[in-house]
Structure 1
């Protein structure tokens, strides 16, 4: 759905408060209860909010979909975002990639680039890079393999990667609100926080379906993101990239969760 400016503001307010009464929203935006109800009906039908008696909240955190399912969801948008993000990478850089599905599309882009040094916790990404020609130097940390998404995990994994100083940290998250980036998995949150601190520049790749959703754990503020690459961002988030940060937009190529 294409959200109105007021609907984006409602989502931003809920991102800060978690939930709100319909009467409160009507007073806040100086419109009637019925107008707010129409806004909330559209947002609810799009899955952006959950209504309860007399009020509304962001969707309650749920378990993330399986890796293979996420890999196929919204794939056109993710591919376009990955292409745009790869254009931002300078020649000969050292890259650190997370284990997100969008990073897999980014890895596909790297198979057509000059040799680089690439660190990652994703066995899926290692396979993509090797199948694409193997021109890159690929560094994989030790740890326990989580078979569900082919990810290397563990405290030692984070400790090992923290000794590097990559040019770019390439990541994604499950949700973005006005208050920042959110995720579900404790290990991945700790990993991303540590890698943001290590990298010269953090690039967040995030398709527009993730804005207005909610995660379980706060990963970082928008001020921690140097470059946001997306096919569309709410105004309240896009405005945070006016000073000292970059917002790279791709064309809309389709919807998906």
Structure 2
């Protein structure tokens, strides 16, 4: 670190310092309190307070003596997810509808964000929609504008009101769509798009394999997180629709992959 950089580090306010700490964790995967104290020319206690604040927001995960990327998370029940980050999801839904043209054929998978997207997309006429979500099928059918809906068969999940499993996968392969509109559990610079549910990850992969364009919808709370089941690498995504533009390593990898960010 140069003398000039050290001088700048001394004058960083808490907000900017915490942003840079989070960026360092995303870049390196793990950092120590000692390293951060040296870098920002501040006390160990100040760094510990910074890490505690970042951990509360889910940006990092604390451990004794340092911080690392957040561990794999779990999703709550569908009703809880509908109210979580609802304003952000509504913004995403409005943006997503602008990417759909009358007459398009669209796969839409199950999720709280894709359900909100369906409410906006239902205003567009003459679509063909293939979905494994009974909620989305009901929303789309209420549009009254010549949209044709295909509801996939398969094993029924009552909480998510969706069909999954081999039958659903097989039926997806009977269609070809202009767009696959999917929601994900997490988006990471290295791991790409991942999900918390094995069956839903399989459905998402099948949909994207049978579509010309992949649209991923995700609010910023899912950035720089990882879930257990792979959906796709970043370069497979055609468009990422979000409420806030990604930053740091994720932004760089998305740009390198040629992903259109909305």
Distance across 2 between alignment mates of 1:51 and 1:246: 33
Tell me the CA shift for residue 82 of structure 1.
1.0
Distance across 2 between alignment mates of 1:135 and 1:8: 48
Question: What corresponds to 1:8 in structure 2?
Answer: 23
Matched residues, number: 242
Question: What corresponds to 1:112 in structure 2?
Answer: 123
Which contiguous aligned blocks of 4+ residues in structure 1 show a shift greater than 6 angstroms?
none
Higher relative contact order (CA 8 A, sep 6+): 1
Question: What corresponds to 1:174 in structure 2?
Answer: 185
Tell me the CA shift for residue 42 of structure 1.
2.7
Return closer, same or farther for 1:140/1:25 CA change in 2, 3 Å cut-off: farther
Residues 217-253 of structure 1, C-alpha deviations (whole Å, 9 max, x = no match) = 22221111110111121232223343533111xxxxx
Q: Which structure 2 residues correspond to residues 81-230 of structure 1 after superposition, within 5 A?
A: 81-133=92-144, 135-179=146-190, 180-230=192-242
Tell me the CA shift for residue 159 of structure 1.
1.6
Question: What corresponds to 2:5 in structure 1?
Answer: none
- Return the index of the structure with the highest Cα Rg: 2
Tell me the CA shift for residue 113 of structure 1.
0.8
CA contact (8 A) 1:9 1:236 kept: no
TM-score (norm 2): 0.83
Tell me the CA shift for residue 6 of structure 1.
4.3
CA contact (8 A) 1:12 1:178 kept: no
Distance across 2 between alignment mates of 1:12 and 1:197: 31
Tell me the CA shift for residue 24 of structure 1.
8.1
Residues 5-29 of structure 1, C-alpha deviations (whole Å, 9 max, x = no match) = 4423422432xxxxx25168549x9
Return closer, same or farther for 1:56/1:113 CA change in 2, 3 Å cut-off: same
Could you say what the CA RMSD is over the residues aligned between the two structures, in angstroms? 2.4
CA contact (8 A) 1:238 1:247 kept: no
Residues 158-204 of structure 1, C-alpha deviations (whole Å, 9 max, x = no match) = 12102321100001111112111221111111222222222100001
Distance across 2 between alignment mates of 1:62 and 1:110: 30
Return closer, same or farther for 1:55/1:6 CA change in 2, 3 Å cut-off: closer
Structure 1, unaligned runs of 5 or more: 15-19, 249-257
Is 1:65 equivalent to 2:76 in the alignment? yes
Tell me the CA shift for residue 31 of structure 1.
4.5
Please, which moves more after superposition, 92-101 or 191-200? 191-200
